Structure 1
Amino acid sequence: MPTVVLASGSAGQQLAGGQTEFEVEATNFRRLVIELNRRFPGLGTQVEETMAIAVDGEIFQDAYAVELKPGSEIYLIPKIGGG
C-alpha cells in the first residue's frame, strides 16, 4: 500500500488526528482523496484545495492521472502562496 506523509504542523495533520504518516489503499490520486475523506473527514478536500503532492520524490501540479503503486511515498505539503 502507498504511504502518505503529512507535513508537520499542517492543517492536514490536525484533520488526521495528529498522525503524520499512514498507509492507504489507493491506486490513483482520485482514490486517495476519496479514501482520505472516508478515514479523516475533510482531509481529502483539504488536500485537493490547499496542498501540493509529491509522489516518490516528484512534485505534481495536477496529480489526478498519477498512478500510485504499492510502496509509493506520497508527501502532502501546504501550497506556498505568492504574488
Structure 2
Amino acid sequence: MPVFVSVPTLLRSYTHGSKRVQAQGQTVREVVEDLERCYPGIRQRLMDEQQLHRFINLYLNDEDIRFLDNLDTAVSDHDELTLLHAVAGGAR
C-alpha cells in the first residue's frame, strides 16, 4: 500500500531532489524503514534507534503523529505523510 511522503528541502538530497516520494508500510515506523531502504541515510536524519529526533515533526494527513500513536500510528493506502525539519535561527 503506497503512502505519499512530502520531503522538506533539507532532506531532498536523500531523495535525489524529489519533494514527494512513495513508501510502503502499515505504520509510520514501517514507512520510515521503507524510506531508508529506498533512500539510505534518511532514517538517521529522522530518528535515533527508537524515536523521532525532537527537531523532526511528522504529520499524517495533517495530524501530528505525536498526538496519535507516534511511530506506531497506522497508515492507510494513499495517506499523506509530511516530514518537517525544524529550523532555528533569526535575529537576536
User: What interval of TM-score do these two structures reach, taking the shorter chain for normalisation?
Assistant: 0.7 to 0.9
Percentage identity across aligned positions? Answer: 16
State the TM-score, normalizing by the size of structure 2: 0.75
How far 1:16 moved relative to its partner? 1.1
Q: Which runs of 4+ in 1 moved over 6 A?
A: none
Q: What amino acid is the match of 2:13?
A: Q
- The answer on 1:58 being equivalent to 2:57 is no
CA contact (8 A) 1:29 1:67 kept: yes
Q: Provide the C-alpha distance between the structure 2 equivalents of 1:40 and 1:70, rounded to a whole number of angstroms.
A: 21
Contact 1:35 1:44 in 2 (8 A): no
- State the number of aligned residues: 80
Q: Distance in 1 between matches of 2:78 and 2:3?
A: 5
**How far 1:23 sits from its partner (Å)?**
1.2
Shift of 1:60: 2.3
Q: Which runs of 5+ in 2 are unaligned?
A: 48-52
- List per-residue Cα deviations over 1:22-57 (Å, max 9, x = no partner): 111111122112111111111122122342100001
Which residue of 1 is the match for residue 6 of structure 2?
5
Equivalent-residue separation in structure 1 for 2:87 and 2:21 (angstroms): 24
Tell me, yes or no, if the aligned pair for 1:51 and 1:76 is still in contact at 8 Å: yes
**Rg: which structure is higher?**
2
- Could you list the runs of 5+ residues in structure 1 that have no partner in the other structure? none
Q: Is the 8 A contact 2:65 2:71 kept in 1?
A: no
Letter of the aligned partner of 1:57 in structure 2? D
